[in-house]
Structure 1
């Protein structure tokens, strides 16, 4: 008996994706899913725990190849790095030209490109798919960003599209299509975003934006608690109110849930008993490093990554050094409603600027690597299934649909108007936080990014002069074309290079 697709790796993500595939394939064609894990007992355990999936359990890579109908498709759901390389090598030994290996893990996009070149020598197709949504998304419908050839996408599309998350257009006209309550005009949150490493590149940027979004939300929480003295439960209600408007998103929704949760052991607010040291798995840092390589400023994402690093810098934070904030005691009353509204607007404005940075990097990456990545399509497939799913993404899709050649989201009227409307609240919030010693690096960097874009004359002119003075790095001029150098150690005349 054969299977239409195989899944390698039966951890939480792999087993949930396999169950999603099995459910959909059974409904559509009666086809089955084969699973394999180097820990064969774990794979058998997954099959026993979920008999409804009717998995075929392979005992080895060769056995998996024998159980798959051709052309074969195997999806790797293993840890990025050596585990992925090992799994690929195992499959290359038993697969044939025309078969497809899919890496569904969080691999660095340049690794995906290198692996694709190596695998191509055997005639086997290699596809990198960014999968977002966590373990729940893997089971119920993730957002998927596919990178590979058009021929591989044609083969994979009927397998992957039915298991993707579905987003309902924000037009209020969706009508039920069947007894399961699905909508006739729902759109699958999956797209072919380009060749070779494009899928993992776009997923990397998704995660970078996610870092920024989470940090901005955390800073909003810190401001409301510090400046107004609100309890976590009270702040949860503020976030629930925000989630009814333009900030509506999965992250705002779960933030309210976390803040409203009480620790069973202590009876304290859950957020107060959690260690304030945040971990990271690398994709945020990759986003920042790649942005630097591409010459794309992603300041807010970078500050979000740095904030996690600082939170974990135990040597710095427990050094015993006393660093005081100047006293700001005042008898002036605090306008609760005004502070809440300012923080809301600041959060939304910072969120816009983080997305501007992320989409700028996607566009730059597509240009650098020759990918045909449609930015509006990227926003559309992030509308459901993924961690940063939000109402806000509809606006991004609309912007690129209105002008596919849009140079930046900053050139779209909606985003221009939103930034102009929210900038004063962002300024007031950043200033208030600075005066009272509340660290808000992401919001502050968003404001600096905004001002850096809108200023008519940047301070970089002086930097160019400094570079030319000590290193003869040359400079351009505003009044004529060319590259110039001043003879600083000589008569300070200017030469054209």
Structure 2
């Protein structure tokens, strides 16, 4: 009998099956379009121990107990449809694992509803793309903890390995997808932030310094040998130098309109729900939205003026290093904000999370894999109660070392009219976070002036008062009206 079944034979699903097969697990493959099962067995899975099924009933009959079934289908209704069809075929203690990009509220609901029916539900983040699925992804399972002993060997067996062989997979308190989405640090969130700071670095280098693609690719390769060593920097270098069949660079031919599956949006929504300033990831999502307005931007480019283009007069090599440092500082902010959201989510849901351990799960296989993550682990080892990465001595010093370059890059880019949503918002967050006093006291006064919403005095925290600012507004706060 098969050890596990997987539903959904897109490339990710196929590669995950082949990965499990390589590690000695017998997998039963199923797809709603049954012909895809036959094609997979006759081609990609030929010569393996992978078995197929022509129906869900046949698939379930081929599984060892407790039955373990992975869903890799489109998030939303498709997941619920498969769950509805599977439940009558399963027994108490069987396990359904959703490995798609589901919204975390759906994961919570499914876990609760299936528990009432005796079925164990797991929501697992799967990061690393198609290549990671084939040779070792970062896996973030969570949900009904009773399922973990039954899937641990498989999950940790197929996950990416780092260091002395530690798997980039462990059980996460609560829902795995909750952690993946709310943290904003896994590829659903932090990746989008890092993508945009990398993109802006490329644009700044091209537009300000007029660096040709081949030289810029070399620069990114060199950056990848520094503290910026990461998957996204590596592939950016490869993309910049890739030539099409006609011998011309491919990148300029690609339409500059970025789509999204909603995962970054969910991170931003969670940040707003819990009042955590995850500004960089939010700006990254909005930047994608703006890029999608391609037709409007074409028209606007013909009518809206910006600063006149001028030749860069400074030291190009020095400014390129400034860009590298600005990228590094902005990346630190992205992680710092993500872990702020993760900490708040833990408070909201009563989770006990090993923040350093979570960072280590993303060292390999994951799209945001980076040597940087080990520094996060070190920071939480030094202080498990660390409130913000910026307060750790390593990250504090790193940002201070980059600060002058960061400010030069932002000011130069603004003067040149280059959109830098993530660089600028990251710097604004840093400046706001380091200020003991912010002008929000005026906001509180305004709210009390027009709406009697009250405010606190610094000398009397916890005591909310209302002022009759005009002399004819009354002395009763709006909060007292319905008391």
Query: TM-score scaled to structure 2, two decimals?
Result: 0.94
Give the Cα separation in 1 of the matches to 2:272 and 2:299. Answer: 32
Give the Cα separation in 2 of the matches to 1:328 and 1:234. Answer: 22
Determine if the alignment matches structure 1 residue 227 to structure 2 residue 193: no
Report deviation, 1:201.
Answer: 3.4
Query: Deviations along 1:234-290, whole A, 9 cap, x unmatched?
Result: 10000011111100001000000000111223x322121111111111111111111
Determine if the alignment matches structure 1 residue 66 to structure 2 residue 46: no
Determine if the alignment matches structure 1 residue 152 to structure 2 residue 147: yes
- Which of residues 210, 213, 225 in structure 1 aligns to 2:191? 210
1:89-488 map, 5 Å: 89-168=84-163, 185-195=164-174, 197-203=175-181, 205=184, 206=186, 207-265=188-246, 267-320=247-300, 321-327=302-308, 329=310, 333-481=313-461, 482-488=463-469
1:225 is paired with a residue whose SS is helix
Query: Deviations along 1:431-461, whole A, 9 cap, x unmatched?
Result: 0111111111100001000001011210111
Please say if residues 107 and 200 of structure 1, whose CA atoms lie closer than 8 Å, have aligned partners that are also in contact.
Answer: no
Report deviation, 1:493.
Answer: 8.0
Report deviation, 1:323.
Answer: 1.8
**1:81 alignment partner in structure 2:** 76
Please say if residues 2 and 64 of structure 2, whose CA atoms lie closer than 8 Å, have aligned partners that are also in contact.
Answer: yes
- Which of residues 30, 33, 37 in structure 2 aligns to 1:39? 33
Please say if residues 133 and 142 of structure 1, whose CA atoms lie closer than 8 Å, have aligned partners that are also in contact.
Answer: yes
Give unpaired runs (5+ residues) of structure 1. 26-30, 169-184
Q: Please, what is the CA RMSD of the aligned residues?
A: 1.6
Report deviation, 1:319.
Answer: 2.7
Determine if the alignment matches structure 1 residue 8 to structure 2 residue 7: yes
2:91 is paired with a residue whose SS is coil
Report deviation, 1:314.
Answer: 2.8
Report deviation, 1:316.
Answer: 3.0
1:385 is paired with a residue whose SS is coil
Larger CA deviation: 53-62 vs 415-424: 53-62
Query: TM-score scaled to structure 1, two decimals?
Result: 0.92
Please say if residues 34 and 64 of structure 1, whose CA atoms lie closer than 8 Å, have aligned partners that are also in contact.
Answer: yes
Give the Cα separation in 2 of the matches to 1:209 and 1:328. Answer: 32
Report deviation, 1:203.
Answer: 4.8
